[in-house]
Amino acid sequence: MCFRGFVLVLGEQREAVRLFNNPGAQECADVIMSAASKRRAVIVLGVCEVSYRGRTSSELARGERLVIVKEDGSLLVHRTWGYKPVNYMPPGAMVYAKSDSGSVVISAKRGSESMRVVFHKVYLAATLNFRDDSSFEQKGTEAQMRDAVVFYPELVEKGLRVLTHEFQVKSGFVDLMALDSRGRLVAIEFKANPAKTADVNQLIAYVSRLRALSKERGIRGVLAAPSINKAARKLLVDSGLEFKRLDKDECLRVLEEFKPTMSLLSFIEKGDEHSA
- 263-271 LR contacts (CB < 8 Å, sep 24+): 264/147, 264/150, 264/151, 264/165, 267/150, 267/151, 268/150, 268/162, 268/163, 268/164, 268/165, 271/161, 271/162
Return the pLDDT at 140: 80
What is the mean pLDDT of the segment spanning 11-23?
81
Strands 57-69 and 161-169: unpaired
pTM across the whole model: 0.57
User: What backbone torsions phi and psi does residue 206 show, to the nearest 5 degrees?
Assistant: -65, -50
Contacts of 41 (CB under 8 A, 6+ apart): 35, 68, 69, 70, 71, 127, 128, 130
Q: What is residue 135's DSSP assignment? A: P
What is the mean pLDDT of the segment spanning 212-241?
90
How is the chain split into domains, by residue range? 2-128, 142-275
Return the pLDDT at 85: 94
- The secondary structure of 204-239 as a DSSP string is HHHHHHHHHHH--TT-EEEEEES-B-HHHHHHHHHT
Assigned fold of 142-275: Trna Endonuclease; Chain: A, domain 1 (3.40.1350)
pLDDT band at 51 (very low <50, low <70, confident <90, very high): very high
**Res 272 pLDDT > 60:** no
Q: Indicate the SS3 state at residue 82.
A: coil
Residue 75: Cβ-neighbour burial (10 angstroms; 0-12, 13-18, 19+): buried
Architecture field, domain 2-128: Distorted Sandwich (2.70)
Higher pLDDT, 273 or 108: 108
Q: Closest by alpha carbon to 167, among 212, 207, 224, 226?
A: 207
- The rounded mean pLDDT for the chain is 88
Rounded Cα distance, 50 and 77, in Å: 8
Rounded Cα distance, 124 and 138, in Å: 33
pLDDT band at 235 (very low <50, low <70, confident <90, very high): very high
Rounded Cα distance, 271 and 254, in Å: 17
